[in-house]
Amino acid sequence: MAEKLHFSLVSPAKELFSGDVDHVIAPGSEGEFGVLANHAPFMTTLKNGVVRVLDGETTKMRLFVRGGFADVTPAGLTILAEEAVDLSSTDVATVDAELEEAKSKLLSEGKDSPHHGALQAQVDYLSDLKAALVH
Protein backbone atom coordinates (compact mmCIF):
# COMPACT_ATOMS: atom_id res chain seq x y z
CA MET A 1 0.00 0.00 0.00
CA ALA A 2 1.31 3.44 -0.96
CA GLU A 3 2.15 5.88 1.78
CA LYS A 4 -0.47 8.56 2.46
CA LEU A 5 -0.09 12.30 3.00
CA HIS A 6 -1.73 13.84 6.07
CA PHE A 7 -3.63 16.92 4.87
CA SER A 8 -5.52 19.58 6.83
CA LEU A 9 -7.32 22.62 5.49
CA VAL A 10 -8.34 25.22 8.07
CA SER A 11 -10.10 28.57 7.75
CA PRO A 12 -10.87 31.05 10.52
CA ALA A 13 -14.42 29.68 10.59
CA LYS A 14 -13.62 25.95 10.85
CA GLU A 15 -11.52 22.99 9.81
CA LEU A 16 -12.87 21.90 6.44
CA PHE A 17 -10.82 18.74 6.09
CA SER A 18 -8.30 16.64 7.97
CA GLY A 19 -7.25 13.19 6.88
CA ASP A 20 -4.89 11.00 4.91
CA VAL A 21 -4.91 11.38 1.13
CA ASP A 22 -2.78 10.38 -1.84
CA HIS A 23 -2.14 13.79 -3.40
CA VAL A 24 -3.13 17.45 -3.03
CA ILE A 25 -2.90 20.10 -5.75
CA ALA A 26 -3.08 23.73 -4.60
CA PRO A 27 -3.02 27.23 -6.17
CA GLY A 28 0.28 28.71 -5.07
CA SER A 29 0.89 32.40 -5.65
CA GLU A 30 3.82 31.42 -7.90
CA GLY A 31 1.82 28.69 -9.67
CA GLU A 32 -0.07 25.50 -8.99
CA PHE A 33 1.81 22.82 -7.03
CA GLY A 34 1.24 19.24 -5.94
CA VAL A 35 2.19 17.51 -2.72
CA LEU A 36 2.60 13.76 -2.12
CA ALA A 37 3.72 11.87 0.98
CA ASN A 38 7.36 12.56 1.95
CA HIS A 39 7.49 15.84 -0.02
CA ALA A 40 10.39 18.17 0.79
CA PRO A 41 9.40 20.81 3.37
CA PHE A 42 8.43 24.28 2.15
CA MET A 43 6.02 27.12 2.85
CA THR A 44 4.25 29.31 0.31
CA THR A 45 1.41 31.76 -0.06
CA LEU A 46 -1.76 30.86 -1.92
CA LYS A 47 -3.88 32.79 -4.37
CA ASN A 48 -7.63 32.41 -4.87
CA GLY A 49 -8.26 29.03 -6.44
CA VAL A 50 -9.21 25.39 -6.15
CA VAL A 51 -7.45 22.90 -3.90
CA ARG A 52 -7.95 19.41 -5.32
CA VAL A 53 -7.69 16.40 -3.02
CA LEU A 54 -6.96 13.17 -4.90
CA ASP A 55 -7.43 9.53 -4.05
CA GLY A 56 -5.31 7.74 -6.62
CA GLU A 57 -6.07 9.54 -9.90
CA THR A 58 -9.62 10.50 -8.82
CA THR A 59 -10.46 13.93 -7.44
CA LYS A 60 -12.09 13.21 -4.10
CA MET A 61 -12.80 16.80 -3.07
CA ARG A 62 -12.57 20.34 -4.47
CA LEU A 63 -12.19 23.20 -2.01
CA PHE A 64 -12.02 26.85 -3.03
CA VAL A 65 -9.60 28.98 -1.01
CA ARG A 66 -9.31 32.72 -0.74
CA GLY A 67 -5.60 33.21 -0.25
CA GLY A 68 -3.67 31.91 2.71
CA PHE A 69 -0.59 29.79 3.33
CA ALA A 70 0.48 26.21 2.63
CA ASP A 71 3.00 24.56 4.94
CA VAL A 72 4.59 21.24 3.98
CA THR A 73 6.42 19.51 6.83
CA PRO A 74 7.47 15.91 7.50
CA ALA A 75 4.08 15.56 9.25
CA GLY A 76 2.15 16.49 6.06
CA LEU A 77 0.46 19.49 4.40
CA THR A 78 -1.48 22.16 6.26
CA ILE A 79 -3.34 24.90 4.43
CA LEU A 80 -4.38 27.94 6.44
CA ALA A 81 -6.88 29.74 4.21
CA GLU A 82 -8.28 33.22 4.70
CA GLU A 83 -11.60 31.72 3.61
CA ALA A 84 -12.48 28.29 2.24
CA VAL A 85 -15.56 26.71 0.68
CA ASP A 86 -16.30 23.09 -0.19
CA LEU A 87 -17.41 23.39 -3.83
CA SER A 88 -19.76 20.41 -3.47
CA SER A 89 -21.85 22.37 -0.93
CA THR A 90 -22.05 25.62 -2.92
CA ASP A 91 -24.21 26.48 -5.92
CA VAL A 92 -23.73 28.96 -8.75
CA ALA A 93 -27.05 30.77 -8.13
CA THR A 94 -26.12 31.67 -4.55
CA VAL A 95 -22.64 32.87 -5.52
CA ASP A 96 -24.07 34.78 -8.49
CA ALA A 97 -26.53 36.61 -6.22
CA GLU A 98 -23.73 37.50 -3.77
CA LEU A 99 -21.56 38.67 -6.67
CA GLU A 100 -24.28 40.94 -8.06
CA GLU A 101 -24.86 42.41 -4.60
CA ALA A 102 -21.13 43.05 -4.13
CA LYS A 103 -20.84 44.66 -7.58
CA SER A 104 -23.81 46.89 -6.86
CA LYS A 105 -22.34 47.96 -3.52
CA LEU A 106 -18.98 48.63 -5.18
CA LEU A 107 -20.63 50.87 -7.78
CA SER A 108 -22.72 52.76 -5.23
CA GLU A 109 -19.75 53.38 -2.91
CA GLY A 110 -17.58 54.80 -5.71
CA LYS A 111 -13.81 54.76 -6.19
CA ASP A 112 -13.19 57.34 -3.46
CA SER A 113 -14.80 55.20 -0.78
CA PRO A 114 -12.54 53.97 2.02
CA HIS A 115 -14.14 50.55 1.46
CA HIS A 116 -13.31 50.40 -2.25
CA GLY A 117 -10.33 48.03 -1.87
CA ALA A 118 -12.22 45.57 0.34
CA LEU A 119 -15.28 45.64 -1.91
CA GLN A 120 -13.14 45.06 -5.01
CA ALA A 121 -11.40 42.14 -3.27
CA GLN A 122 -14.83 40.63 -2.48
CA VAL A 123 -15.96 41.03 -6.11
CA ASP A 124 -12.73 39.39 -7.31
CA TYR A 125 -13.12 36.51 -4.83
CA LEU A 126 -16.75 35.87 -5.79
CA SER A 127 -15.88 36.05 -9.51
CA ASP A 128 -13.13 33.46 -9.02
CA LEU A 129 -15.45 31.26 -6.92
CA LYS A 130 -18.16 31.41 -9.60
CA ALA A 131 -15.62 30.48 -12.30
CA ALA A 132 -14.48 27.49 -10.20
CA LEU A 133 -18.07 26.29 -9.85
CA VAL A 134 -18.76 26.61 -13.58
CA HIS A 135 -15.64 24.65 -14.58
What pLDDT, on a 0 to 100 scale, did the predictor assign at position 12?
94
Residue 1: the pLDDT is: 53
pLDDT of residue 64: 96
The whole-number pLDDT of residue 19 equals 96
Phi, psi of 15 (to 5 degrees): -85, 120
Sequence-ordered alpha helix ranges (H) in the chain: 92-109, 116-134
DSSP state of 115: T
pLDDT of residue 2: 72
pLDDT at 84: 94
User: pLDDT truncated to tens, each residue of the chain (135 aa)?
Assistant: 579 999 999 999 999 999 999 999 999 999 999 999 999 999 999 999 999 999 988 999 999 999 999 999 999 999 999 999 999 998 999 999 999 999 999 888 888 888 889 999 999 999 999 999 987
97 touches 114 (CB < 8 A): no
